[in-house]
Structure 1
Amino acid sequence: MALIRRIGFTRFNRWGDNLGRLTVSAATHTDALDGTDELNITCAEDLVKGDRVVWIDLQGVCHEHIVDTIDRVHDDDGAPETQAVCINSVNETWDDWLDDKRPSGSVSVALTSIIADTRWEVGTCDQGGSASRTFYHESVREGLAGIIETWGGELETLIVHDGAGIVSRRVGVRAKRGNQSSAKRFTWTKDLVSVKRSVASDNPKTRVYGYGKGVETESGGYGRRLTFGDINGGKDYVEDAEATAVWGHPDGEGGILPAVASYVNEQCEDAAQLLQETKDYLEQVKEPKVTYTASVIDLYAFGRSWEGVGVGDDVAIIDKGFSAEGVRLHGRVSQIERDLLTGDATVTFGTLTDNMADMWQSVSNALKSNSQQNAIYDAAAGTSVSWLQQLQAALNAQFNAVGTYKVETFELGTMWSNVPIDAETGLPVKATSGMWAVNINGMGMRLAANLTSDGQWDWRTFLTGAMVSADAINTGTMRAERVRAGLLTDEKGKNRWDLTSGEFSLSASTEVGGKTVQKIADDAASSAVDAQTQRDIFNKLTNNGQTQGIYLSGGLLYINANYIETGIISDRYGRSTWNLNTGSLTTNYMTANNIDANGTFECGSASNLIRLASGEIKGYEDGTQIGTIDFSAHMRNVSTGQLTTGLQLTGNQHIRITTPLISAAASSSESTTTTHAITKDCTLHYISKIQDDGDGTITWWNATRSIDFVDGFCTVCNFD
């Protein structure tokens, strides 16, 4: 049996220029529901990273892949060839940026918003439902993954060509990819070569605790998470007793303990919804995940058009190799790996488990979608968190499954690899994908997972006596004397510390008044607000005090909080201090014994005390109030409550003093004589001159004087 038609591969550069057909000696295509879409190709041409490989499969579907990793090697005859791994061209959107997008509504609305600034168009979107999400400071490719996470569905790309080049690139979100009513059946003796049944390494869970959104506290933080015990007979969990009888474990006293897990939905605020979601999750995890991998013949490649199958198709397998009754499966195709030159294929049904690409994606999702309040971090600090345990288990499985080659020389030290290596150079005898090497010599240890462009090991991780250098480190708890870093931030940018610029913010919200906290902080530090007061900047950062948090902007620290407990507040020179433990306040201008929460201010001693409260200054002597002056400039008689004009000083041209009340009384008298000062114009008569007449008589002259009094104070004095 021979292939009806061979597939051709055309090479384009990143700008769309046609560079001609490739001379291909090997090509496999892997497509999966988890987003994997990878072309592994071997050709004579020297490919360049970023080149596009365009090809049309036997069912007439056009594919475009980006050349990602390249190995240029020589075969046994010395002829050079290129081994390249190419990825779906939608991955070019890793280089497109989303600064701040907030789509709300259907999935097509969200998708339109996300890819608006790319060359991709919106394709078929039949995933239902309505939702909203903020895409902040992330790539468009991450945004596409976020759409699937929020709205659900499966990502699908469609490449349209006109025979000369690509004319359209579309990305859509499908409720389910593939043909859900396919009549395709893989049958032993027809197109089924072999079947492998794999049971996943993760253990079934028979009791699941459900946790929703944290309950908001009065201080604006979040306390205990939402549970559903009130509507579930007091139980915050759901359990399958039959599954526990099978997959539980002995309790040491003759009973069975359930296998326990948790389900967390950060956004769920409804107990009934959380209960149902937890029940659905239990159904998924209460039995082992079984995957069937079938080696098949792609009969479509041999001209049988009715035998075509694609990822997501709902198909059947019939195989009597396991038992007399045979294995009869009916489910979706989760992955297809095709040899595009021979027609051989491997079809996977069920969950793609223990695949390293999937494991890394699972770990990445766990790190992105959970905060420290999440149950994923509930393990003790000295214990590996759940995502790390999952990763460690997968890595152990990979380590256990691989063979190892070793060489040892004085120059190289000791070197291990998963491929045969040359005893003199330490390089692989023949380059393949998935190579790795470990080298230990007098310097330390180094690790590589690929070759450089000149054929040397690409050492990327180093361990010496002085340091560890690596592209990525996965850990549970990190203990260090010093950590040097650039930007520390959570995944959503709510809390960030830029150690390069010094900018720091901790906030319960990423938005204030329609702007991101980061944008507001940038604005507050810019010249546009230099003329504004710190109060203006504080109001912008905190939405006029409504949003609490800690902000550092323009070298200034701003704090907005309902409750702060502290001891002494002081300026940097110690000239003004407020001791909140004793209540005393001291400044350059005054010293206070106590200031309470109601604004009462006291200074002086126990025998002579001045108290400022409610807009009044009150004087006390030996604990008894002896006077009051309010801020309307009135003096009040302590005994009678009578108000009179208080002491007045008027500057500029003259000084005016008003003495409203003069009191006099003997120390033993209980009565008081009061004299009120007058306001009056007076004419006084007086003898202005006396003359001796010399005969025993005198003569005198009479004159008058005008004197004006205002509140007992002489303001005018004239002589005639």
Structure 2
Amino acid sequence: MLFHHYDGRNRPASNLTVLSAVRTQATDGSDSLDLTVIGDIQRNDIILYQDAGTWHETICASVKSTRAEGMPVTVARLVPSMRELDDSVYLTGWDPENITPQAMLERILSGSRWQAGHIDEPSLATSASFEFEHASGLEALQQLTDTFGYEIDQHVTLDPGHTTVTGRYVDLHRHRGGDTGKRFTYGKDLTEVERVVGDHPVITRLYAYGKEIDTTTGSGDEQTTRSKLTIESVNNGKPYLDADRSVQEAFGVPGPDGTPQPRIGYVEDTDIDDPNQLLAYAQAQLAQRTVPQITYTASVAVMGLTGVGVGDTVQIVDTSWPEPLRLSGRILKLKRDLMGGADDAEITLGSIIPSLSRHQSQVEADVQKIWNSKGSWDAAANVDSSWLDGVINGLNTLMNQTGGYTYLVPNEGIYVYDKPKDQNPTQVIQIGGGYYRVANSRKSDGTWDWRTMATGSGLVADLIYTGTIKGRNLTINLSTGEVNFQGGRISDDQGHYWDLNSGTMDLGTGEIRIDGTMAGHSFTTIIDGSGFRITEGGSEVGGLMIDDQGELALRGVTLGNSDNDYIQNNNNSIDMYSNGSKLFSIEGSASSYNGWLNMICANYSPFLFTGDKGGYPNSTIIYPGNGDTGSSIVLEPNAINLQQSSAGLTLSTDGWAGVYGLELSYGSTNRLDMKDGSTNLIHDSDSRVDLAGSYAALVYGNNHVQVTGSGIGFTPSISNASLTMQNRLDTQLTTLADNGVDLDQPDIAYNQLPISVTEIDIPTIHDALRALADGDTATAKQLLDEFEANAPTLSQSDLDKMNIPRPDPSLSHTLAFRS
């Protein structure tokens, strides 16, 4: 038997005297060599050895040294050198799509000392897609074998002198070993064979479920529901598969009448989205789960199975059952001393064909995989104490590499410490029946303070360190802080939610606050049920919201599509800019005392004013816009004024600026007044022409010429009329007083109070003068007396209609030039 010893850098090391070399192989891909030698072996040393004509390269994973009679005795656990892929190859952010097994294997091994070796049936392999957030080389190989149904192996080549490794290869086999044609028969009287029947029941009816899919129902208002894929559509409407009748009769559950009823189980693979693929998967699973899970362990000599290797198929006949059970099993594990005889080898024969499990993984994941993986290990070995001892020894070896020490405590489970139990360990993991828990401190009474624990129902921990948490619709990258939702709904117990499928968000009476800084200013954006508001220093500066009147309001200082083209609100003004220059401005006030609006051109000249300002209520003024405020159009509720320099036009119905009607003016002395019943042409304060309904008059100073229907007269002003009329006025006043007319009332006084008498007409004067010329004074006096007795009196209203007063020139000037 040849053994070559090298240090961790492939340099020749000391010679060894081998006392024993126990090799343990299993179909799960594990392969270890427990080597007892006289001499020193260090961790990571390399041992080359030959078994059955094939060379193997191993690495020392753990070592235990003692001295016997002054000589160093070393017990070393050696593992295949392929284990270095767990440390030397690291894949991150790799998501291959539709990749074949060979291409994937070559990618995993790229950059390492290993190459793709033999691959069974590469042309028959399909392609698949993977997602590797982060994974070691061995973890990636595990996914490859699980996905494509391969079993993994390795081999190396050496130089002609068998001292140097020239090539390292990873092989993929559909089925390790071959069909030997051998048969093993077990009976009750075969006492040297350990037989273990697993506690997993035989299933006679199997339901299968795949990936969740969306199903749309209805023709009008369509509804979409999510459910797991089943095999109903490709299995005659049944979501399950039934085993053969013989299996149902042998392993079914007795019904009320004793008739066997189905023993039900289910399988699920969330990666399968095709019903035909799911059916094939269910059929393969049913074939495995319709036979008892049994292992048989004994020596080669007892079993009579000489010349077999790991993975070989053996037919089993178990006569201990009421009806002899015929099974097809495999050599699951082969343990033998390479320094001893072949008949001393120990074989574990299983009735199921397990798939590859992850090789050399970390402690917690490794033990969990042993108990929970998808048939990776022979399920019956879960209760096989000798097999479990072997697993614990393997785990202990792995943990010892990093200072881990494993203990099996009956009825409690497995304890893994960071130091030997008698050296005051500070950390521990306990693995029990369906749970594990972790502690790194003790309580005051010295017992462990378990702060992290997990069961099939969930995980409880004070602190979790991880890189990425990923689910079907949610990925949380804790390294970058990125959270990605593919869909779903976020809600609380108050009915508030965010539906990621429809985009609907209901925050109830809450609000969203966003703080930010722009151009040296700190702003807060608040979104709530009333809209969104932007505040600075607690004061609103903009937003879209519902105002105090319940109306939708858009608020802001600037509104536009760029920093150069916009409308700006500045307190009491609104400015419009184009290309950064102001086009015009609207300014004003809306107070209850003085509301007004003023529009200003780009040259800061007003062109439109409206409102109450400067003593002119409810007025509107239009300017040319060139800065000339002497030209304007003024609109009042009861008046209109057009002004161009010293020329103007005024229309009024209520005496605005002294105008009752229409007034044309030029300068301060010339104007034309038109009102209801009269027209006045005025040159200055002494000269004018009056046109009324009952007369026409030329006036100059205190004299005028009056034309009426009775003739033409020339008299002084009415205000200087003859005192002979005074008796007529007194008589009229007396008559009004006797009739009870209240002359203290302004309206009555203006319309009825007599203040003058109609001037004597020309015919009466003519007749009186002729009588005097004839010496007939009595007739002349009689004519005059009759006129005085019958002459109509005039009120102020009558005088206003005959003699229109001139408006104050200063009022017209103020109207035309106000701003």
User: TM exceeds 0.5?
Assistant: yes
Distance 1:250 1:486 in 2: 50
Distance 1:28 1:687 in 2: 132
* 1:263 Cα deviation from its structure 2 partner: 0.8
Which digits, 9 at most, give the CA deviation of each residue in 1:559-585, with x for residues without a partner? 9772332122143799764443xx465
> Which residue of 1 is the match for residue 66 of structure 2?
73
Distance 1:715 1:151 in 2: 98
> Which residue of 1 is the match for residue 484 of structure 2?
507
Instruction: Give SS of 1:287's match.
Output: coil
Structure 2 alignment gaps of length 5 or more: 217-223, 394-403, 429-438, 491-497, 516-522, 560-582, 584-596, 611-617, 621-636, 649-664, 671-682, 685-699, 702-814
> Which residue of 1 is the match for residue 15 of structure 2?
21
Distance 2:259 2:643 in 1: 105
Residues 548, 211 of structure 1: alpha-carbon distance in 2 compared, 3 angstrom cutoff? closer
Which digits, 9 at most, give the CA deviation of each residue in 1:413-437, with x for residues without a partner? xxxx99xxxxxxxxxxxxxx99837
| Higher helix proportion (structure 1 or 2) | 2
Instruction: Give SS of 1:436's match.
Output: strand
Contact 1:591–1:603, Cα closer than 8 Å, also in 2: no
Q: 1:296 aligns with which of 295, 300, 304?
A: 300
- Identity fraction in percent: 24
Which letter maps to 2:513? D
Pair 1:487 & 2:466 matched: yes
Instruction: Give SS of 2:285's match.
Output: helix
Pair 1:109 & 2:103 matched: yes
Pair 1:436 & 2:407 matched: yes
> Which residue of 1 is the match for residue 712 of structure 2?
none
* 1:225 Cα deviation from its structure 2 partner: 1.3
Which digits, 9 at most, give the CA deviation of each residue in 1:19-49, with x for residues without a partner? 1432111111112221111111111222211
Contact 1:112–1:122, Cα closer than 8 Å, also in 2: yes
Distance 1:108 1:62 in 2: 24
Pair 1:60 & 2:65 matched: no
Contact 1:226–1:269, Cα closer than 8 Å, also in 2: yes
Residues 332, 268 of structure 1: alpha-carbon distance in 2 compared, 3 angstrom cutoff? same
Structure whose alpha-carbon radius of gyration is higher? 2
> Which residue of 1 is the match for residue 171 of structure 2?
172
Distance 1:585 1:578 in 2: 4
Distance 1:245 1:53 in 2: 54
Instruction: Give SS of 1:605's match.
Output: coil
Which runs of structure 2 are paired with 1:592-607 in the superposition (5 Å)?
602-605=546-549
Distance 1:316 1:271 in 2: 33
How does the TM-score come out when normalised to structure 1?
0.58
Distance 2:85 2:452 in 1: 22
* 1:451 Cα deviation from its structure 2 partner: 7.9
Instruction: Give SS of 2:111's match.
Output: coil
Structure 1 alignment gaps of length 5 or more: 1-6, 299-305, 370-383, 403-416, 419-432, 440-444, 510-546, 551-557, 596-600, 617-632, 634-646, 665-672, 699-712
Distance 1:329 1:265 in 2: 27
Which letter maps to 2:129? S
> Which residue of 1 is the match for residue 443 of structure 2?
465
* 1:605 Cα deviation from its structure 2 partner: 2.2
Residues 338, 604 of structure 1: alpha-carbon distance in 2 compared, 3 angstrom cutoff? same
Distance 2:80 2:451 in 1: 24
* 1:91 Cα deviation from its structure 2 partner: 0.6
Instruction: Give SS of 2:107's match.
Output: helix
Distance 1:679 1:152 in 2: 102
Pair 1:273 & 2:277 matched: yes
Instruction: Give SS of 2:20's match.
Output: strand
* 1:679 Cα deviation from its structure 2 partner: 13
Which runs of structure 2 are paired with 1:96-175 in the superposition (5 Å)?
96-103=89-96, 104-127=98-121, 128-162=125-159, 163-175=162-174
Which letter maps to 1:571? R
Pair 1:229 & 2:242 matched: no
Contact 2:90–2:134, Cα closer than 8 Å, also in 1: yes
Residues 60, 611 of structure 1: alpha-carbon distance in 2 compared, 3 angstrom cutoff? same
Q: 2:250 aligns with which of 240, 246, 254?
A: 246
> Which residue of 2 is the match for residue 335 of structure 1?
333
Q: How many residues matched?
A: 530
Pair 1:213 & 2:211 matched: yes
Which runs of structure 2 are paired with 1:219-618 in the superposition (5 Å)?
223-240=226-243, 241-251=245-255, 254=258, 256-296=260-300, 309-314=308-313, 332-343=330-341, 344-351=344-351, 364=365, 398=385, 436=407, 447=415, 461=428, 464-465=442-443, 468=448, 474-477=454-457, 483-487=462-466, 489-490=468-469, 495-496=475-476, 498=478, 504-508=481-485, 562-567=503-508, 568-571=510-513, 577-580=526-529, 583=530, 588=535, 602-605=546-549, 609=551
* 1:107 Cα deviation from its structure 2 partner: 0.8
Residues 309, 591 of structure 1: alpha-carbon distance in 2 compared, 3 angstrom cutoff? same
Contact 1:360–1:391, Cα closer than 8 Å, also in 2: no
Contact 2:29–2:359, Cα closer than 8 Å, also in 1: no
Residues 604, 455 of structure 1: alpha-carbon distance in 2 compared, 3 angstrom cutoff? closer
How does the TM-score come out when normalised to structure 2?
0.52
Residues 477, 264 of structure 1: alpha-carbon distance in 2 compared, 3 angstrom cutoff? closer
Q: CA RMSD in A?
A: 6.0
Contact 1:184–1:307, Cα closer than 8 Å, also in 2: no
Which letter maps to 1:35? G
> Which residue of 2 is the match for residue 442 of structure 1?
none
Which digits, 9 at most, give the CA deviation of each residue in 1:525-575, with x for residues without a partner? xxxxxxxxxxxxxxxxxxxxxx8999xxxxxxx997723321221437997
Q: 1:88 aligns with which of 80, 101, 104?
A: 80
Which digits, 9 at most, give the CA deviation of each residue in 1:257-315, with x for residues without a partner? 432221111111122332332232112101202334452269xxxxxxx9854333446
Contact 2:154–2:170, Cα closer than 8 Å, also in 1: yes
Instruction: Give SS of 1:85's match.
Output: strand
Residues 54, 399 of structure 1: alpha-carbon distance in 2 compared, 3 angstrom cutoff? closer
Distance 1:331 1:71 in 2: 37
Which letter maps to 1:283? A
Distance 1:457 1:331 in 2: 46
Contact 2:334–2:345, Cα closer than 8 Å, also in 1: yes
Distance 2:471 2:16 in 1: 43
Q: 1:654 aligns with which of 601, 604, 607?
A: 604
* 1:166 Cα deviation from its structure 2 partner: 1.0
Distance 2:279 2:226 in 1: 20
> Which residue of 2 is the match for residue 301 of structure 1?
none
Distance 1:294 1:358 in 2: 26
Which letter maps to 2:163? A
Which letter maps to 1:167? T
Contact 2:198–2:383, Cα closer than 8 Å, also in 1: no
Residues 674, 231 of structure 1: alpha-carbon distance in 2 compared, 3 angstrom cutoff? farther
Which letter maps to 1:201? D
Instruction: Give SS of 1:268's match.
Output: coil
> Which residue of 2 is the match for residue 51 of structure 1?
45
* 1:237 Cα deviation from its structure 2 partner: 2.1
Distance 1:648 1:296 in 2: 112
Q: 1:201 aligns with which of 191, 196, 199?
A: 199
* 1:459 Cα deviation from its structure 2 partner: 7.8
Residues 173, 590 of structure 1: alpha-carbon distance in 2 compared, 3 angstrom cutoff? same
Instruction: Give SS of 1:168's match.
Output: strand
Residues 47, 610 of structure 1: alpha-carbon distance in 2 compared, 3 angstrom cutoff? closer
Which digits, 9 at most, give the CA deviation of each residue in 1:350-384, with x for residues without a partner? 357999x9999899599789xxxxxxxxxxxxxx9
Distance 1:160 1:146 in 2: 26
